[in-house]
Structure 1
Amino acid sequence: MAEAVRVLIADDQALLRGSFRVLVDSTPGMEAVGEASDGAAAVELARRLKPDVVLMDLRMPVMDGIAATRAICSDETLTGVRVLALTMFDMDEYVYPALQAGASGFMLKDASPSDLVAGIRVIATGEGVLAPSVTRRLIANFSTTPEPLRPAPKLVGLTKREQEVLILIANGLSNAEIATHLVISLPTVKTHVSSLLSKLHARDRAQLVIIAYESGLAERGMPG
């Protein structure tokens, strides 16, 4: 029998923490192992409990969710811990910094219980998840930003097909959608994604999105 996904809940609102705990504990194969009311407590509990997933509110006192995410994701003793960032607004200016800090995904607090549970499961497997509205917001943000994007020389080693797959990932397409768009098999897409993760030293799909935008690759638009 597979071990339960261990979840740490970090939110400064007691009512929300309680709601998330009930949802997690009532889901087969999941258990809530702790609660934190601020970012500093979330970091301390993550180091002590080593959960599989941290549900991280981005707006908290003492230490905000971005700083807490950065502390957790940069800690070499917590390499197996994944952060799923949560906020009330898809326009939140914290979204991109949270992903830069190492969050493996981002979802809205008003997501349906089934979507949130699915997001936790995806994050726990080492993948990344972005709410569709968040992906659209990232696209809009990068298409209008006046600031130059940092060069990413590590993209030089990518094949043309890998670059095409990376662009599609940045546009929010799933593996199945990428397979359809490029007229290739799903296993082939998965092979390309694995290669991208390895070559770009990315933890998950969310980091691939960040790399695609910071390098300017995503600005080339959808491949034909």
Structure 2
Amino acid sequence: MRVLVVEDEPYLAEAIRDGLRLEAIAADIANDGGTALDLVAAHPYDVVVLDRDVPVVHGDEVARRVVAEHPGVRIVMLTAAGELTDKVTGFELGADDYLTKPFAMRELVLRLRALARRPEATTPPVLEVGPVRLDPYRREVYRDGRYIALTRKQFAVAQVLMDARGGVVSAEDLLERAWDENADPFTNAVRITISTLRKRLGDPWLIHTVPGVGYRFGEQ
């Protein structure tokens, strides 16, 4: 999962981002609504955690445009206001969920994972490719019924590859989906993670390298 945190209080934004990363959720920060819209247009975010009261472009307008232009992106509204009318307004704008400040990081994580569990029409909640079954909500992976323990990054990479349904995923796309905007495009993190993930999943290998293109998940 990749999340954009739209929050104009730098310390709070960084705390949310760091807390999400500890839960294997890739997260970026936008400190104003204009930057948020630019980032959503440039990167494949799954969820926008949006403070309504942000500068440049108000959070309400950000929500309207994200809903209109990027219908697959979920929105979690953040606000210091706790009145019912504020929540109603947020949902009317297209928000999928709502949190009032202050909130516990654990609650935000659970709400994000619950949103991820709500599938789009073409995306099943549980991914199954060949002998491997991946449950994004429970964060569990099985091969032929045997549980496989994965690190957070290995799990994220496996999810992106399996979601491609046999298609080839480039290293650049993996950086986009499983890391965040600060990932070094020249890093060997993708290659190393792919190598360790192959070993964890066992023989025969299910992750295949397509020379000069990327990686494909599935049986030969």
What is the identity percentage for the equivalent residue pairs of Structure 1 and Structure 2? Answer: 27
Unmatched 5+ stretches in structure 2? 120-220
- For residues 137-194 of structure 1, the C-alpha deviation after alignment (integer angstroms, 9 at most, x for no partner) is xxxxxxxxxxxxxxxxxxxxxxxxxxxxxxxxxxxxxxxxxxxxxxxxxxxxxxxxxx
Structure having the higher Rg: 2
Task: Please point out which of 104, 108, 118 is paired with 2:100.
Answer: 108
User: Residue 21 in 1 paired to residue 17 in 2?
Assistant: yes
1:55 touches 1:86 (CA, 8 Å); kept in 2?
Answer: yes
- For residues 73-123 of structure 1, the C-alpha deviation after alignment (integer angstroms, 9 at most, x for no partner) is 011xx2221010011221275432221111101012322111111011112
Match in the other structure for 2:30: 36
Deviation of the 1:126 alpha carbon: 2.8
User: Residue 7 in 1 paired to residue 35 in 2?
Assistant: no
The runs of at least 4 aligned residues of structure 1 exceeding 3 Å deviation read none
Task: Please point out which of 81, 90, 104 is paired with 1:98.
Answer: 90
Match in the other structure for 1:74: 68
Match in the other structure for 2:39: 45
TM-score (norm 1): 0.50
**Quick one: distance in 1 between partners of 2:113 and 2:22?**
14
Match in the other structure for 1:124: 116
Superposition pairs of residues 120-159 of structure 1, within 5 angstroms: 120-126=112-118
| Aligned CA distance change for structure 1 residues 126 and 40 (closer, same or farther; 3 Å) | farther
TM-score (norm 2): 0.51
**Quick one: distance in 2 between partners of 1:100 and 1:124?**
21
Unmatched 5+ stretches in structure 1? 128-224
- Once superposed, what is the RMSD of the aligned Cα atoms? 1.6
**Quick one: distance in 2 between partners of 1:72 and 1:51?**
11
User: Residue 62 in 1 paired to residue 62 in 2?
Assistant: no
1:82 touches 1:126 (CA, 8 Å); kept in 2?
Answer: no
Query: Match of 1:74, SS?
Result: helix
Query: Match of 2:55, SS?
Result: coil
Structure richer in strand, relative to its length: 2
**Quick one: distance in 1 between partners of 2:90 and 2:30?**
18
**Quick one: distance in 1 between partners of 2:53 and 2:86?**
8
